[in-house]
């Protein structure tokens, strides 16, 4: 149901760090989806209900095949059996070839914890003796072929960069669908590190910096858990 699945600790994580890559691959004919682990209920601005609506609006902008929210506890979810089984069931339902996961470490502690949580779930999803069901159906094992970690607030040297230049404006539209979280001069809620106009400029600068590494205008960087294999080095040019 989804060739490429982005999994995120919070609604808007995937938009901020990986939505250009999702759009680039959708343009190539691949199906794309997002699974949010939490509803972001601890966020300073907005509410969980509002973020649900914003996530739906963003999903429509991105043209997702599916968007799911596992409603794990924001700030307090752990890599326990019950939580892992929820994510394993989602992975087996969507059957992605590639999973894009939170950064391996970041300013927000949920991000790094989520990165390892997602990686563990992807491995366990491939074990037939781990039993799950979804919508009343017993599921079969499915393990994504690759897990790549997107880069978020803190800079991490990427292992590879995706050209998102043709899709940058749509990426920004998907981000700004989360109007409660990002710059809105009419919002009177407390300011946060991501709600200023300068943060949007940072996003532009980060994407330009990643793009510069590969000779394009805008890019998104990723780290790998294992080296990807190629049969033709020209694919790396």
CATH number at residue 106: 3.40.50.10320
pLDDT digits (tens, 9 = 90+) for 203-225: 999 999 999 999 999 999 999 99
Is residue 219 in some structural domain? yes
Is residue 211 in some structural domain? yes
pLDDT for 196 beyond 90: yes
CB atoms within 10 A of CB 127: 11
Tokens matching residue 62: 């991105």
Confidence of residue 1 (pLDDT cuts 50, 70, 90): confident
Is residue 233 in some structural domain? no
Is residue 148 in some structural domain? yes
> What are the distances in angstroms from CA 221 to CA 21, 39, 74, 142, 170?
9, 25, 26, 26, 18
pLDDT digits (tens, 9 = 90+) for 13-50: 999 999 999 999 999 999 999 999 999 999 999 999 99
Confidence of residue 235 (pLDDT cuts 50, 70, 90): confident
Q: How far apart are CA 100 and CA 201, in angstroms?
A: 24
Say what the pLDDT of residue 236 is: 84
CB atoms within 10 A of CB 27: 11
Q: How far apart are CA 164 and CA 135, in angstroms?
A: 35
Is residue 179 in some structural domain? yes
Say what the pLDDT of residue 82 is: 98
Domain count, the chain: 1
Is residue 220 in some structural domain? yes
Is residue 45 in some structural domain? yes
Is residue 230 in some structural domain? no
Say what the pLDDT of residue 158 is: 98
**Residue range(s) defining the domain that contains residue 81:** 4-225
Q: Are 32 and 67 in contact (CB under 8 A)?
A: no
Instruction: Record the pTM.
Output: 0.96
Comparing C-alpha atoms, which of 152, 154, 127 is closest to residue 141? 127
């Amino acid at each position: 149901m989804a060739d490429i699945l982005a999994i995120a600790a919070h609604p808007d994580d995937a938009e901020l760090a990986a939505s250009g890559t999702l759009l680039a691959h959708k343009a190539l004919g691949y199906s794309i989806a997002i699974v949010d682990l939490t509803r972001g209920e601890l966020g300073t601005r907005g509410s969980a209900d509002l973020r649900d609506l914003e996530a739906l609006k963003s999903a429509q902008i991105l043209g997702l095949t599916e968007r799911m929210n596992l409603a794990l506890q924001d700030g307090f979810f752990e890599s326990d059996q019950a939580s892992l089984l929820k994510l394993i069931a989602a992975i087996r339902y969507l059957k992605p070839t590639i999973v894009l996961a939170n950064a391996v470490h970041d300013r927000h502690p949920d991000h790094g914890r989520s990165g390892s949580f997602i990686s563990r779930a992807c491995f366990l999803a491939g074990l037939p003796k781990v039993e799950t069901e979804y919508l009343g159906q017993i599921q079969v094992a499915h393990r994504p072929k690759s897990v790549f970690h997107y880069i978020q607030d803190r800079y991490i040297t990427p292992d590879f960069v995706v050209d998102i230049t043709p899709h940058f404006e749509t990426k920004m539209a998907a981000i700004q669908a989360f109007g409660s979280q990002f710059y809105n001069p009419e919002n009177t809620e407390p300011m946060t590190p991501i709600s200023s106009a300068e943060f949007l400029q940072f996003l532009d600068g980060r994407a330009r910096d990643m793009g510069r590494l590969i000779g394009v205008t805008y890019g998104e960087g990723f780290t790998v858990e294992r080296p990807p294999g190629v049969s033709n080095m020209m694919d790396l040019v």
